[in-house]
Structure 1
Amino acid sequence: MTTKITYTLQGDYLLPDLKLPEQPKVEIGIWGKRHLRYLEKHHPIIYTNLLTSCKLTAYLADIDKQAEDMFFRLVNQLAKQEGVTEQLKSENQMLWVRKMNNIRNRAEEIVNDGIIYQ
């Protein structure tokens, strides 16, 4: 199998036209996108290695799934632990909303610290 290399003139230099193979189309959620921004900014070598080896999309999809599972598990555990139930929701909606917002914020911080910004 032969590959034909093409070049483009940039100033006085001929540079090869390099293209990465197509990566699979996978929907990346908010957790995966956050981790992507973190990698680009703080770990550019890891980002470049994943990108050039065509593993970035699969890696981000895996991170997204792990983070989402952890987030929902934490929200459910904390709500159960603190007695935030559907009964409380029907009796005092504002208290339920305050408690659930607090729980979701804590769970998000735990996921960010444990998975996203690692």
Structure 2
Amino acid sequence: MLRKRIAQLTVLSILAILILSYLLTDTSLLPQEPNGAIVPANSTLGYGTILAVSHFSSPRRASLLWAANLTDIDIVIPEQPAWTEEDVRNFQAKEHSTISKGSALAYLGHLIALKW
């Protein structure tokens, strides 16, 4: 009886190994890349242009350009004008403005990018 049990377990083990090896080598069961998969068209990741808003003296600008060069991604940084206090005041509400100078400068910089 013990020999019969061992024989059954041996046959079952061999079948399990065969089924697993078939499943692991059958590539039709693996996820396939869909036909017409979208791949990045170019170094702008398929977009016309990648814009970044960064002031010329920003300490982050060098790191941004370094990372773009490392990854072969083209990033355009439009030139920002030298904003004046008057530009900031014109952006803020006349009374009780809650927009800080930094926020106003950021908004103005993004407006330049939108006009680009």
Structure-2-length-normalised TM-score: 0.26
Larger Rg: 2
Larger helix proportion, structure 1 or 2?
1
Larger strand proportion, structure 1 or 2?
1
Answer 1 or 2: higher relative contact order, Cα 8 Å, separation at least 6. Answer: 1
